[in-house]
Chains A and B, each alone.
Chain A
Amino acid sequence: MIAASQSSQSAEHTPIRPARAAQRGFQPERLLVIDPLTYRFGDYRIAELPRLLGPGDVLVVNDAATLPASLQVDADLELRLVSTQPDATFRAVTFGAGDFRQPTELRSAPRALRLGERLQFRADLAATVVDIDATDSRLVRMRFETSGAAFLRALYAHAKPIQYSYSAEPLQLWDVQNRYASRPWAFELPSAGRTLTFEALFEIEKRGATLTHVTHAAGISSTGSEQLDARLPLGERYEISDAAAEALGRARADDGRLIAVGTSVVRALEGRADSDGVVRSGRGETNLRLSSSYQPRVVNGLLTGLHEPGTSHFALLEAFAPRQLLLRAVEHAAKTGYLQHEFGDSCLILAGALLDRLVA
């Protein structure tokens, strides 16, 4: 365990080494625990997560499976699905020529789509552009011509998972699913859950903590346009099950800590919570944006991946810990070889996690 005050520098930081992503069989194991209460951080293993939690605590995962959300129209035009609308249309962002090895910001500008334009992806998959965003023409809404099993079959056959430029090789659908995934609501992998093994999840429950889930339609993380990225996340739908609402109610009554696995879970729970911090079961959509100025009402801790300062993901961690503490922890992570990004190591931000009596 390291007291943050021992760290030498503050603002200047070493960038975190990119994760060795998507190498088959690679299972990240490290867990950086950051405790804003004691202002300390320490090196752990994911396998040790169960002993950092205890009776009364509730761990909430996002059980959304990941859809293949990248649809190629032709060599010069790719669409990435962002959200499903209540009227069964999809929001999508267009990308120009280029492939997954190019960071999205270096891709060429896509041609502009016309309202009413018909996009033929393959013989059994076509859509019509039904809306073009007033401020950014790359953001469109489209309606597919089929639905149900026929639509899903064609989508799964044509579309690929959204790719990351740091991947050594293209990601397959199998690579972007959490072990407990169910309905394919997510457009990118809710990656915080990827390091959770059932070995760890079962152990967490054996030690008296509760495991529950929400389903949250995590949207895309990057569009390559600063202007468009500034609007992310766009509205995302979620569902809170009766079992989850009950578990959250019990934790609230017993002063148990509520730990979200991933920022998508934070958005679902905080977006759903009423002013008294009660989370009811049901479906909804949230536009909640996390930042240093956001004060969580129901979520006490966050299990997430590691991202560099300056990224949008880093900024939303500031809702859970002071910036200076995060900077020092992240600098330590960089120096000691933690792996970052969607397929890298994990970090737990939880007040009191490193109190001596708990981790002795």
Chain B
Amino acid sequence: MDLTRKSALVTGASRGLGRALAEQLAAAGARVVLVARSEAELTRVVEAIRSKGSEAHALVADVSRKADVYPIAGAAAELVGPLDLLIHNASSLGPTPLRLLLDTECEDLSSVLETNVIGPFRLSRAVAGSMALRKTGTILHISSDASVNAYERWGAYSVSKAARDHLSRLWAAELAERGVRVLSVDPGEMDTQMHQQAMPDADPQSLTRPEQVASRIIQLLCDSSVPSGSRVEAQSWRTA
């Protein structure tokens, strides 16, 4: 995939990995729409990208709200054209400090699933039909090692990421013959605000910078040898 003039949408793009992905996609020549809830943070990121001469647009929206889905999908297609790339990066940990399942409120699990699974399903549903019609496009789900490992206290997030991985495989299976590639990437532990919230005692020096992970993910997107339906660990993956 050559990213020049490609239209891309990244959710959770105001900080961390989402921000790094949006910046690097834009630097590679893509036309990028950034989605996040925080207007002030998002505007700063978009202005920084534009100041380097790249194209970026800020859409303030909440991917967990059904009412926001068509406004996101419609505005993005209007701003940069029918989408070539959709990156589901936005995620919620639920309440922090993280809790044992026995201490997890049912409503908190629902709301994490709404942001991490149902929201991405809805947005893909609003975007992937056009990709299937045009027989082109890539959908990328940002996963976590918590989707395969049962870490204590990561319950709600962990369950949602396991479901997100399987959602990725299901989209891949159903769109296999439609020219739409669907991937899931485990970014590994990164020095981000989310990681700080989940594990406040971790030494930031021991963590990978989100910019480094983003650059690996961009290589992965451009490498057509990684088949649709794959789940890739970004930090151990190497280009062939």
Contacts and interface: CB of A to CB of B under 8 A. Distances in A.
Given A149-B33, A184-B77, 18 more contacts: A61-B133, A63-B130, A63-B133, A148-B79, A149-B79, A153-B61, A156-B75, A157-B71, A173-B67, A173-B70, A174-B67, A177-B70, A180-B129, A180-B130, A183-B78, A184-B75, A184-B78, A211-B133
Contact of B75 (A153, A178, A181): A153
B76 to A, nearest CB: 9
Nearest to A183: B77
Interface in A290-308: none
A213 B131 CA distance: 12
A152 B70 CA distance: 11
Chain B contact residues: helix, strand, loop or mixed: helix
- Chain B interface size range: 20 to 34
A179 interface: yes
A4 B95 CA distance: 67
Interface string B107-148: 000000000000000000010011011100000000000000
Contact of A183 (B58, B67, B70, B82): B82
22 contacts: A61-B133, A65-B73, A65-B77, A148-B79, A153-B59, A153-B61, A173-B70, A179-B129, A180-B129, A180-B132, A181-B129, A182-B82, A182-B83, A183-B78, A183-B81, A183-B82, A184-B77, A202-B177, A202-B178, A211-B133, A213-B133, A243-B134
Interface string A145-187: 0001100110011000000000000001110011111111000
B74 A152 contact: yes
Q: Name the residue among B61, B66, B77, B178 with the largest chain A CB count within 10 angstroms.
A: B77
Contacts of B133: 61, 63, 180, 201, 211, 213
A144 to B, nearest CB: 14
Interface string B171-199: 00000011000000000000000000000
Interface of B: 33, 57-61, 66-67, 69-71, 73-75, 77-79, 81-83, 126, 129-130, 132-134, 177-178
A85 B58 CA distance: 25
Contacts of A202: 177-178
Q: Name the residue among B60, B66, B67, B75 with the largest chain A CB count within 10 angstroms.
A: B75
A181 B78 contact: no
A65 B133 CA distance: 14
A268 to B, nearest CB: 16
B57 A148 contact: yes
Nearest to A211: B133
Contacts of B70: 65, 156, 173-174, 177
A63 to B, nearest CB: 6
A330 B66 CA distance: 38
